[in-house]
Amino acid sequence: MKKLQLTDAETVLFTRISRKINFFARMNMGLLEEILKRIEYYQFDKGEKVCRQGEPGDSFYVVAEGRLGVRVKTGLIFSRKVAELIPGDCFGEMALLTRAPRTATVACEEESKLFILKVDHFEEAVKQNPAFAEEIKKLADARKSALNK
Ligand code: CMP
């Protein structure tokens, strides 16, 4: 994992991506600007795990580049792939909303770049913007149902 500088180009990229994500699209510009001030940008290698099932979560992620796999354990050794995440997708919301451990392991299937929002700033965004809160909770509920199937 390598921290990258958030240049103007990435700021534009985040704004563009966030407009395509349902819940960010409903955010007002003021809040989006607040988030932009707090967002960090990281590069992950192919094979690198971004978060691990069962561990506590402290960040929310938006995929800028690359492809990641979401896997849940089916036993001590084996796991099942439940989803693939591509640019414009986000993850890591479930542990932050419920304060429960990560529900899945998310690993890079190719070199990937992610925008990262730390828990305090994520919670601030949820508190400040009911539309964001509503959409992110909907997403977490849908993913929870998918995991329980
Ligand atoms: P969290 O539990 O914090 O950490 C693992 C993340 O994987 C989880 O939040 C979701 O963002 C994501 N995730 C879990 N299940 C699915 C799913 N079925 N489809 C897509 N993403 C998922």
Model confidence pLDDT, tens digit, residues 81-102: 999 999 989 999 999 999 999 9
Q: What is the mean pLDDT of residues 46-72?
A: 97
C-alpha pair distances (Å), 133 with each of 28, 65, 129, 136, 145? 13, 25, 6, 5, 18
Q: Per mean pLDDT, which range of 2-11, 12-21, 56-65, 66-75 is the poorest?
A: 12-21
Q: In this predicted model, what pLDDT tens digit does every residue of 18-29 receive, in sequence order?
A: 777 666 666 677
pLDDT at 149: 82
State which CATH number among 1.10.760.10, 1.10.3720.10, 3.10.50.40, 2.60.120.10 fits the domain covering 2-140. Answer: 2.60.120.10
**Cα(53) to centroid(ligand 1), Å:** 9
Nearest CA among 29, 9, 48, 44 for reference residue 116: 44
Please name the residues in contact with 74: beta carbons below 8 A apart, sequence gap of 6 or more.
Answer: 80
pTM here is: 0.94
**Residue whose CA is at the smallest distance from ligand 1 atom 17:** 143
Residue 106, ligand 1, Cβ within 6 A: yes
Which residues are CB-contacts of 28 (< 8 A; sequence separation ≥ 6)? 129
Q: Token pair of 79, please? A: 């796991």
Select from 73, 98, 106, 118 the residue to mutate for testing ligand 1; criterion: most ligand atoms less than 8 Å from CB: 106
Dihedral angle, C-alpha 16, 20, 23, 28, nearest 10 °: 40
